[in-house]
Structure 1
Amino acid sequence: MSTALTIYILLPLITITCFLQVQSQLQLTHPLEVNALRSVRTSLQDPFNNLRNWNNRGDPCTSNWTGVLCFNTTATDGYLHVRELQLLNMNLSGTLSPELARFSYLQILDFMWNKISGSIPKEVANITSLELLLLNGNQLTGPLPEELGFLPNLDRIQIDQNHISGPLPKSFALLNKTKHFHMNNNSISGQIPAEFSRLPSLVHLLLDNNNLSGFLPPELYRMPNLLILQLDNNHFDGTIPTTYNNMSKLLKLSLRNCSLQGPIPDLSTIANLGYVDLSWNQLNGSIPSNRLSDDVTTIDLSNNKLTGPIPTNFSGLSRLQRLSLDNNSLIGSVPSTIWQNRTFNATERLLLDFQDNMLSNISGSLEHPANVTIRLQGNPLCVVSSRLNITQFCVPQNGSVDTVGNSTISSTICLSQSCPEDYEYAPESPVPCFCAAPLTVGYRLKSPGFSSFPPYKSMFETYLTSGLHLEIYQLHIVSFQWEEGPRLKMHLKLFPKFNNSTNEFNNSEVRRIRSMFTGWTIPDSNIFGPYELLNFILSGPYKNVVLDFPKSGMSKGAVAGIVLGCIASSATLAAIITILILRRHMKKHSAPSRKRLMSKIPIKIDGVKAFTFEEMALATNNFDNSSQVGQGGYGKVYKGILADGTVVAIKRALEGSLQGEREFLTEIELLSRLHHRNLVSLIGYCDVDDEQMLVYEFMPNGTLRDHLSVKSKEPLSSAMRLRIALSSAKGILYLHTEADPPIFHRDIKASNILLDSKFTAKVADFGLSRLAPVPDFEGTVPGHVSTVVKGTPGYLDPEYFLTHKLTDRSDVYSLGVVFLELLTGMHPISHGKNIVREVNTAYQSGMIFSVIDGRMGSYPSECIEKFVNLAIRCCRDETDSRPSMAEVVRELENIWVMMPESDTTPSESFVTDATKSSTPPSSSSAMEAPFISASEVSGSDLVSGVIPTIAPR
């Protein structure tokens, strides 16, 4: 009565705990952040209802709230936290809520290209984790909060193209990690604080088109990493500080229309200066005669009060695209060496604008390449232009080197075909007439270091595609247009790879590409400068793609794992209590021995030896502790040496354990007729009196789980992991297709995959295995076996858990979880997190490489990405969506072939013609070559890893 009462009280408590655990997994976002999101939504106006799902009752992080991206794992407080708010270009208006401060883990705050008004809340400064503050392209007003200068991790502040007023806060000089100040096109007033010179990381200072005044701080030269100083269209006093020639890393100096006076400082000491615009000021004196950097593309000194001759130092500048000296008071001759000492390719152009000066002659030859445009109107030499034969230089001319450009697509050879609707020819594809669905991107270079784009087009294609991890042919520049700034606006199309069977990007790739643009993870370029994403248009097959990041809610597999874990915990606790009570009771009453009670099953199986207890005791030194190499709820595993010298693993069940005669006999019967190099071999058994033991071949490198543990001394390389995956899959394929009759394993997991001395993987533990269905009277083979659910939480097929229908795809699911363990090193279920859900979340958000196990060292990303894709397909909730084991083996073989030679040495490579079928390689295969020799493994690593079959799951 007391036993029943104990269980009656205990099980409801555990059930309630399970319910609370599942419930907690369904609502993971921190409550303060949920309320903050609702406050943000209340303060905004959303005419196109883009944030409609913010009004539902679902959890933000697990219900895919638009633009809300959360961390993949819970923090120490047990909650998920919002990592990014990506709300760009959604036609939102209204104001920014001070409740934004509640996002204490936020890294990216992105409201670009909306119509948001009001001021920037000072409370944003409480988000100490913030890295990107992106508010450009709105209607924000008011001053910049002083408090923003106390953001310790801010990398980029973009508030350009608003109506921000007031001074630049001196506190911004405290932003030690900030690399980008983009504050152009506002109404910021006052002087640039000299304290900015203390900014150690700043590379781009864009303050053009504001109302700044006062003197240019001479101290700015102390910024050690400044690349671009762009202050056009402000109202400064005084001169250009001579200290600016000490800006050793400066690439671009743009001070156009800043009311500056005095002489031009000598800038020849700046080694890599490529762009100088000092036009529309009141600079006087002569042009410095020292030669500028060979990297210079643009020199604009027009509309000043410069005097003296044109110096010869402009000759021989091989990258010069534009030299504008017009509207000054220059005298003397135009040196023809400026264009004569150049060699031009087909795309290069040189504009020489000398209009409206006092130039009287041209020195040297008048011959010039067609690539050169010379403008001389308004000079005395044009009065005698016909005599000098320079009439063509003296007519009115305007315009830049290039203003607009378009790329036309020639489809002459493709006229016999036509692309389906929403598809188009990929112009740069190596396969002619390749039809694909492109992604359309609006893109702008905010401060390029050149005046003519065509010479840099090829370089730009290489830069952008390598930054996006695409092939060059996947990018097509539809058009480009210079805008005021000057800024270069582009219309881009990105095409999928030509060998993509669907001719379109998958959802994960769309998200990945977009996140690289919005997260500014494309590396900076000196010549192209900072960029901005204007739009990312989805149409055709992409119009229903959810860009707002993947759902992180629990799948059926995760729920099943948690529930099964709770049930197992309940059963285990109940069993422990019952055993304790029975033992106490047995002390008081004599009981028949196990030997007298059990109905012994006689075993006589060909090929499997029956050992005596004495032989087992002798092999293990009477089961001495020094021989023990493993332990589980079923009992202990010993390393034994038989009389003939054979090293074996002996799994001995404890008396009183829950081992069933049926499982014991099942494993013996199955293993006695299964012979495959990727299945653990059964050597014999011992079944005498109260003892049950199984004798296996010894696996000196233990279990796969051992080697994925953080405690492992020798982490597995990517090639070793892929090899283990393929070997395991071949063992399971043998069970499914070549065993007679076929077998469903039912308990595939990392601790049931053992590694021999050469790290060859072998599948073990067949105690829960079931024979596959046999044909019925009509010859039809059922697709499943109906059976009670057994297995291990985290590896359990959710369909099998819910329907009790065991199929070959149930093993595929379990093996898929093992693949995820190989890729990430994670446990299937740990601290309430399910590996399938975690990897799916990372994969769908384009962040899959963030969860790859760093302990495997370097790896070929394309191979790993294909391996991830296969593992995820194996772990789909729906049975029919998973590949067969034969497909799994075939895909793994294909991935193995792709592995670089450095990762798969000839001794490791084992994909031969023999592996093109399900037949395993012979024992002489190169697969036998070890990755790590047995002598390199310490004694503590010699763990058998033979897995429990005694205790029911």
Structure 2
Amino acid sequence: MGSVVWLFLLVVSIHIYIIAAATNPDDASALRSLMDEWKNLPSNWGSGDPCDDKWVGTGCRDSRVISLKLPGMKLEGRLTGDVFSLSELQELDLSYNEGIGGSLPPTIGNLKNLINLILVGCGFFGPIPDTIGSLPQLRVLSLNSNGFTGPIPRSIGNLSNLYWLDLADNQLHGEIPVSDGPTTPGLDWLIHTKHFHFGKNQLSGPIPSKLFSSEMTLIHLLLESNRLSGALPSTLGLVKSLEVVRFDNNSLNGVLPSNLNNLTSVHDLFLSNNRLTGPLPNLTGMSSLNTLYLSNNSFNSTDVPSWFPALASLTTLVMENTQLTGQIPASFFNLQQLQTVVLKHNNLDGSLDIGPGMSNQLEIIDLQSNSITDFNITAGEYTFEIILVDNPVCRESGATNRYCTLPPPDSSPFYSTPPQNCQPYLCSSDQISSPRCRCAYPFTGKLQFRGLFFSNLQNRTPFESLEQDLTQFFKFPEFPVDSVSLRNPRMDPYQYLLLDLELFPYGEDRFNKTGISAIASAFSSQDYKPPDTYFGPYVFRGDSYEYFSDGPAHSSKSIAGIAIGAAAGASVLFVLLILAGIYAYRQRKRAERATLESNPFAHWDPKKSSGSIPQLKGARCFGFEELKKYTNNFTEANDIGSGGYGKVYRGTLPTGELVAIKRAQQGSLQGGVEFKTEIELLSRVHHKNVVSLLGFCFELGEQILIYEYVPNGSLSDSLSGKSGIRLDWSRRLKIALGAARGVAYLHELANPPIIHRDIKSTNILLDERLNAKVADFGLSKPMGDSEKGHVSTQVKGTMGYLDPEYYMTQQLTEKSDVYSFGVLMLEIVTARRPIERGKYIVREVRMLMDKTKSSYNLQQILDPSISFGTSSKGLERFVDLAMRCVEESGADRPTMGEMVKVIEDIMQMAGMNPNAESAASSATYEDAAKGSNPYGDESFAYSGGFPMSVTKIEPH
């Protein structure tokens, strides 16, 4: 009997040890929430404890999750608020997951300990949030190869620790941001950053001279394939640390600065395909220069520069169509590193002479379409290509020399890793034979080199060096890699070198997810560095891996459990069966309790009242079948809007009353208790300037809210012209007053008081008489007696309207709504989005505002429609009030009650009765307003683009 008790205690101890949480509860909850949002997560996610059981891609320290590295996992989903609650997170790498995308939420700024943010080759789009600049520890920011739009956030200039900045291969537009005074940051503040990778975007405007300074330590400056214009600033010559410089494929013009000669460390200089003019500067001092591309510019007609032979490290010179004249000096071909010379379509003349000291690395000299009259080579036979087609030397009758015909396409095989003293197998299925002649499923991808220090792709030496370096870096046991293979080197239209890469698994025929994550992360984080003798900056694009091995490895606990079970035999099994019965019984009871907790309406009798059921005032419970009937089975014809929460349908009650039925989609469902709390809160709100809740539905897994129907759309629709409603000054004042009264009611008269947290033009709806109604309480926060003054809470709201004091302190007060309302008032007078083309409306008004001038000097940003049919009397006082609302300190802002009184005074000053009803049905708007959508998705509140001003901060 004693042995049975001992075994029982042993099993219980093991059980307690297994379920003891090694991970901080908040972090564990965040990771488990991600399991509901993301697809294709590693199979051991959800098993045991994240830190203790080493969930794939999760790194921990002292019970806190400090890294989340899941590149190349075939993940699908969006970045949600759950990630941003991992407050100790230092590394976030989700690269090479094309299914991870959507907009990058502004709440990324909550991760104050983040060091590496790496999202290479994902599916993100929309603007890069300005909050990216509030990550003080950030060293690596790689957002390349996505679909980001909008400007480069100037706030990135605040990242004083940044080492690597890669925004290449997106759709970013606008000018390169530089600082404006001591408080407005720009990229010129990044004096310690080594890498500016901005190629393949749509950046425009001149390159600011302020961008560069002698303090900078930049080594890679990549701005190729954009829309940049203007002259190259002379300040570029101050950055003596530069090694790779690319400005090719832009619209640069003007004369090259003479001090480029100071860039003695530059290996690659790409300036092709611009509109550069003037003479070529003397580049004699660029002693490290390997590659020089200057083609397709409009330089002054000039003789071949005498300093060409002084470029001792030169391997590649490409200067097509650049007005070159004169004779090439024979000494130029004596440069011992020279491999490629392309000077087509110029005006070179005289004799082409190549002496006995020529480089033994020469591969091609292409001088097509010039005026060369003779060709002499001391060596007699030569092995490299010389092309003199369309030169006088080849126009003589009977000229048959090989240099007078175009060479055939190169049929020589490109480099491919050879087998290692073995005979490759003919593998079955999708397997490939490795260099060690083992059939397996390799992890594949492309290496793209944005700079390189050689040009002969037939030369095996650089590729063998790279192959050996990759093999050494990814060797077992640091990585589960058996061998490495390179294939098919080629240049793409952007003058990038592309290489196909295959990494084969060690000891198995396929990788597990841990192995792929480790390999992909080494590339995405730039931990792997290629040999700098031949290769410059690179990016890796991993292919989707289809062949993950089955299941994770057993944890040490499970192995220990198996051993104990085998040793203990039948006695332990008997004890475990007892424990299993007890556990199953407790789990069943727990499930029953959870069911009741998740459905607080389960025992609700609407005819009775108790403290555990919803305390509703003026709202009732609808059945799901009822709502299907009222919406004609939720048909598309009754679909009047959609958003992140789901869809809104028009419904008709048996009484003929129109209602708006907001149906949450599965991913947006709250817990039952939270849903109950929300409808209790909303049912208490009754004011003519607040949208009324009529009822709810909570059955069959549905969460549905029924609101009054508001026919004339949102204020945003009218300001943007989408609804067809024309708003003159008097109507705008009336709407502002109604909205202010609605918010003041929430703050001062609702029980409990409510902070809306999402005041904006899309949440102000207009009824049939253009009366304003405050809507959308999805982010609202009730203020209990214990929370008077402020409440600490996770930041929620919409960028552009968000109170900066609330954002910085996370202390929510009624003054946060006041700030948002001030932005709304500026929107009312300008009809501009809060953030438009990278410009913030509050800052724009502050900069332009001059109280000594008419209309405060704001004519250039005021909406021209504001004076339609009426004067704009009281405008200046209205702007004054708005600017008081957006003061930095909440203590300096008015209350909503005070604002109501001021707007009433403004209306009286303008000869209006603040308590009069709006005109009934004016021809200026009634017909146009028919069919408008008052419940549309925020992203459609304004025409065109993906406005940053409507991006919600809404953690789950």
Q: What TM-score does the superposition give when structure 1 sets the normalisation length? A: 0.49
Q: Which one has a bigger Cα radius of gyration?
A: 1
